[in-house]
Structure formats: C-alpha cells, structure tokens
Amino acid sequence: MLKKTKKIESQIKDKELVEIRRMEIVKAAVDIFVRKGFHKTTVREIAQKFGMSIGTLYEYIRTKEDILYLVCDYIHSSVGERVKPSLKMSGGSKETLERAIHAYITIVDEMQDYIIFLYQETKSLSYEARKYIFRAEQEMAGIFEEILKRGVEDGTFSIEKKDVSLVAHNIMVLGQMWAFRRWVLQKAYTLKQYIKTQTTLILNELASRNTKPD
Amino acid sequence: MLKKTKKIESQIKDKELVEIRRMEIVKAAVDIFVRKGFHKTTVREIAQKFGMSIGTLYEYIRTKEDILYLVCDYIHSSVGERVKPSLKMSGGSKETLERAIHAYITIVDEMQDYIIFLYQETKSLSYEARKYIFRAEQEMAGIFEEILKRGVEDGTFSIEKKDVSLVAHNIMVLGQMWAFRRWVLQKAYTLKQYIKTQTTLILNELASRNTKPD
DNA sequence: TGTAATTATGAACGGTCGTTCAGTTTTAAT
DNA sequence: ATTAAAACTGAACGACCGTTCATAATTACA
C-alpha cells in the first residue's frame, strides 16, 4: 500500500471538516485545471466554483501548489481505485493479462483528460510531491509485472526475466498512448478495436518462439 | 515537405536581421524554458541571456507566446533534421527498420530534455501552432509507416495493412518513453541495452506466425 | 440567552511580469 | 559633415494574481 501523502497544514481545527472541504476544493479545481491548465487558472476562479470566498479557501490550504498536489493525488488514486479491482489474477496467465490490458486501456479512455493533465503538470509540483506520483506509477507497473512474471514462470510467455519490468512499462505506455495521441488514434480506431489490436500485438511479442532455429 | 510556419510579424525592416536575431532569441530561450518551464520563465531573463534589452527583444516578436512557438518549431526541426538522414531505405526491410529504430531512440536520448519540454508545453500554444506540431509528428510517423509497409509487402513482417500506422506510432512512443520514463528506465538499462531490447521485442511482434495453426 | 471559540469574508497589499513608448544611439547614404 | 531612417534602450505603465488580515457571521456550549 502507498504511504499516504505528507499532510498539508490548515488553520481549521475540525479535521473532518478539513477533509470534506478539501474534497470540495479538489472537485471544483480539477475541471478548471484540466480545461485551462494550472498556471492559467486563478485561485479566485476555484473559490468561486467552490462556492466560497478566497479567504475561506485559504483556511484549508497554504498555497496554490497545495491545490495542485491535492488534485494530482485525487486523480491518481481515482485511476488506481478503478484499475485495481480489475486486476485480480484468475485463470491462465494469458487471460489474466488480456483482462488487465482491457481494464487498463478502458480506464485510460474514461479518464483521458485527467491523465493528460497529470503528465503535463507534474513538473509544476515540488520534488517531494513528484516523487509520490512516481511511486504510484511504479505501483501500477508492478501489477503488470506480477502477471508477466507468472506467465514467464509457467511458460506462457517467453521473454527474459530481466525484461519483465520493461514490458510492463511498455504496456502502460501503449495504454496511455490512447489518450496522448487521441488526435490521430481515435480517428482511426474505436476503443474496442484499439484494445483488441494492441492486445494482439503485445501477445505476439510475448509468444514463444525464441527456441526455434532460424 | 512541411509547409513553413505562419510568419510572425516584426517591427524591423531588415528581414535577414530578423532571422538572425530570432535564432539568437531561440538559442537563449530554449535552455531557460527547458530548465524552468515556459510559465516560470521571464521575458526579461530571455532578453538578458540574449544580451539585449527587453525593448529590442520586443522589436523582433510580438508576444511571449511567439517565443514559445519559435522554440517549439526549432526543437521540432532539430529532431527532424537529425532523424531524417538516418532513415534512408537500404538493405532488407528488417535491417532498415532496425536502423531506423536505432537512429530514432538515439536521437530521443540526445534530445530528451527538449522532447519532454515539447510535450509538456504544447498545450500553451495556440490551436494553429499546435496543429503545426502535430503535423510534424505525423510526418515522422510516416517514415516508419513507409518502412513497415514495404516489409509487409515483401513478406518480412506479418501484420495487417490497416495496423501499419498504429505500429508506427507504437514504435515512436516506445522511443519517446526512454525520455519520459528516464527516472526508471535509465537506472535499469544503458541506452544500448534499451535499444537492443526494444528492437527485439518489436521484431518479435512483427515476425511471421499468424498463419500457423493454433 | 450570553459569550467565547471557530469559521467565513473580501477589500487591500505587495509583488511580478508582459508590454509599450519617448527618447537615444547607430547606420548608411549623400 | 549632415541628416534621416533604422535599430536599440529601459523606465514606466497597467493589469493580474497569490496571499493576508481585520472584521463579521456562525457555532457550540454554559
């Protein structure tokens, strides 16, 4: 499990209220951030959509960057929560991997705006906050690694053990590509077609053939 | 060939001088942009490194966004110029593809800071400028498509024709991944190893086997 | 109901930064 | 040497925006 984020201090005593308000702030901010980007979004705008005064907003956070951090954290755990339940290992390695790829790309599709935002604005975060995001990303890759490792061990996949991690990242990146290159991919493919084609290609890549003579 | 960019107007009459000064501006700006990001960089900073006054700077551009556009354009044509000579088709399809992948990832490695910058700041550009960047990206993909198409036709690769474009994008994305995920990949692999492994995986993906019975 | 602690408010502050422009220096042609 | 056009300068402008704080409203508790 991920160690929870470094606590951001607040002027408000009631800890529960802080949680509630912060979630409201995040919900208000996330859409504006996604639409306009972090730098072009005003704290005043967020407060307005949040439905409270700037003064109040600043009782719950210290700086504008705090909001960005909360938003990034929110997006990442949303993605994580959506993905994890779909990644139970059951059935053969091949089927498990197929299901995992399907689940992952489906979620990328659903959350594409958020994912694009996350990657474009991560650099505006402090080093510590960025490290947290990286860790979350690694955790996700770890899930794919597990599946691949099992497949290699039971002979379903034929890649070298040391490349399991790389292939896991490849799969994630090919999934995220659906969001980042939507301007071209989503004209040529439906989501279903995309998932099917990429899955086939990945399985080809993993299929046994390395022992065959040339 | 790419249609050249929409001309940015200038107060200066001497067109040649405009070109020279703009190149100086770009050279001064690109490093600061890459290091600090577009929004956190001051026009004053650029002018200072450029070695002239803000007033002079503003004789050659209209707005700060103009500088961003010039920088993005510069980066993209630098990448393009570096890549194209390496992508001559010669020898078998397999060898040509191997050479192209090698060249592309090597360039991604050399220009990783620039490439990351390009993707993170593209959204700050106007729609028209963004379209230009997309077109340049498509052109690059087109080169890989050509190689793949030839390989499919001569029987070296066994993917469906309609998926040639997708595989071309896959290759580019796996190349760019070396930059975007450097925090993990460049700890686990040297550039050489990375190129070799990804090339092998891609070639596996393309290898003939679809006619084999299950 | 009274009052003290907690929470909400938004005008005001201070700083930054993109952009301009009135004036100076340089260049080039006569 | 004269002068007009071209190029350069940087102080000043104005707008914006993150943040604060004195004050008001609300809540909790007696």
Whole-number Å distance between alpha carbons of B96 and B89: 6
Q: Which tens digits make up the pLDDT trace of A131-165?
A: 887 888 898 899 999 999 999 999 999 999 999 99
Q: Within chain B, what is the greatest distance between any pair of CA atoms?
A: 73
Whole-number Å distance between alpha carbons of B69 and B84: 22
Residues from chain B contacting residue A115 (CB–CB below 8 Å) = none
pLDDT of residue A5: 54
- Which nucleotide's C1' atom has the smallest distance to the CA of A42? D17
- Indicate whether B10 pLDDT > 60: yes
For the domain covering A15-62, report its CATH number: 1.10.10.60
Contact, A52 CB vs strand C, < 7 Å? yes
pLDDT of residue A3: 41
pLDDT of residue B208: 63
Q: Which nucleotides of C are covered by protein (CB under 7 A)?
A: 6-12, 16-22
- A67 to chain B, minimum CA–CA distance in Å? 18
Contact, B13 CB vs strand D, < 7 Å? yes
Whole-number Å distance between alpha carbons of A117 and A76: 11
> For residues A24 and A37, is the Cβ–Cβ distance under 8 A?
no
Was domain B71-206 assigned CATH 1.10.10.10?
Answer: no
B197 and A166: CB-CB below 8 Å?
yes
- Which nucleotide's C1' atom has the smallest distance to the CA of B58? C19
Confidence of residue B69 (pLDDT cuts 50, 70, 90): very high
E-strand spans in chain B?
none
Q: Which tens digits make up the pLDDT trace of B145-195?
A: 999 999 999 999 999 999 999 999 999 999 999 999 999 999 999 999 999
Q: Which tens digits make up the pLDDT trace of A106-124?
A: 999 999 999 999 889 988 8
Check if B131 contacts A (Cβ < 8 Å).
no
* pTM summary value: 0.89
How far in angstroms lies nucleotide D8's C1' from the CA of residue A37? Answer: 36
Q: Where are the domains of chain B?
A: 15-62, 71-206
Between B211 and B29, residue with greater pLDDT: B29
Closest CB from A134, A173, A202 relative to B173: A173
User: Number of CB pairs < 8 Å for A and B?
Assistant: 83
- In the DSSP assignment, the letter for residue B85 is G
Residues from chain A contacting residue B183 (CB–CB below 8 Å) = 134
Closest CB from B37, B188, B209 relative to A207: B209
Whole-number Å distance between alpha carbons of A31 and A37: 9
- For A196, name the nearest residue in chain B, comparing CA atoms only: B163
> For residues B87 and B97, is the Cβ–Cβ distance under 8 A?
no
Contact, A20 CB vs strand C, < 7 Å? no
Whole-number Å distance between alpha carbons of B151 and A190: 26
Confidence of residue A209 (pLDDT cuts 50, 70, 90): low
Tokens of B9: 């107007």
Type of residue found at B193:
Q
